[in-house]
Structure 1
């Protein structure tokens, strides 16, 4: 899932019932002193709430996510329940995730389904500069996530793409795409289940960048746990690989899988199995290129037109078929 800040007006305020609900979950003497709309996602309104005490003492930040888009509302309860479960589980681990403050998945108290969580320091970094330093950090973080062994497993992953829903970009290498679509017509390979984030990609990872150069960069948080699932490590790796290929160029998709193994992660042994998961995710992204490109442009990557992203996707699918097919 990707945040989308385009659905609401900067002047809009947190809705009154929601604000009252937030206030009930604050400590005695605390109040919301500032609200700021966060931009850059697709499925929900995001707010940063600054919390202060009446005596002007300590200040902290919380993050409020509210599902308002009619298209996503029907899934909001499931997503918020899953995210609540994931954040509860992650609280006892070394994975830097937000802390759960409160959730209202059915909008019993708020105008819309909402989640209140702690604010993590750091920022998402989508530019090309310093990527060489960040990719191994991303890979190590994902290996750590996959090492979690929850007492209660999340539900099995869902793969939404089918051979019939793939959108072949205009001017794409038709032979490569036809071969790729044939790959996902086959039955899925057997796999060893792992705890998956299911949308692990640069837009959901926060970095602390101490200087303009990337030396000393570190990950301060991983956000958006609403799609947490149980499935093959290859699927999470494939998803991050596709995003890196579209953001930074096809070679980075391949590089991420190597970095994951260098960090101690284990992928499918057979090339045909790796290809299945890698292609499945790349083809899934064909259906949302426009949305993704728009979110990236809003986040500052103005050169990433829908066409530019389509061309990278075509180059990546072709490279996958050449390397592993």
Structure 2
């Protein structure tokens, strides 16, 4: 028997066949689902309304229905366009949840290794070159060849998990940010920047040029904010008049080849207890593409005592790190 609950069922069936929906597309699907249910039973009192309050109530009802399945119909603004997008995401990140994907355990491990390189990339570039992405295969205990890795990378891009730029650099897509937001915040809390305006995660945008200012903005948030106030909303610094003088967050923050020699790896839980005994990270030889404003931000939480380690300890640090096979973030700050 047809009921008003069938609207949710039809809507979710439509969502399952799509990875990411825009807000406007989601509204169209909702309206068509209502029309389909009313066509089956005209006596049902179901009305479509495109006002925001009605939509938010509909989404809340959907999420209550999905709660027991650890699923969520989540929304996030696209970092490039600012367009509101939605996706059905899995809130769990355990082995059982990972089995419900199109990828093998090795391919999932490879994907997470690439994400780690992206999140720990230097100068807040949040991107890796094709060379670096392919070299991540060597960090996995698998016989996956680089030719196979190229095919898998192409699949990540075609299915919307990664973005690949004209420079051949990989970065996080809106789909990945939507579906893995909790994982990113839990695994890389220090690297997850928030836009000062919309408070959502930012991996591409602009940064304030003043030293130690924490302002980071999406491009669309920056454009809207500067129309109202030509100054940084946090410190009052004037924004550069020309866009070429803006400090980039994302791919524009790193030069070609600047991250080729870097190998970083987050410590495992078992290694975390040795944190206080670790030497400072090895720094890039290249000059950072961002000014001192972004280099001086205290993101690593390193102890001040580490800065005074003697010359012998500094020489020993790279050898010790290489011997242990550990990779840690060396983003210059």
TM-score by length of 1: 0.25
Whose helix proportion is higher, 1 or 2? 2
> Which of 1 and 2 has greater Rg?
2
Whose strand proportion is higher, 1 or 2? 1
TM-score by length of 2: 0.24
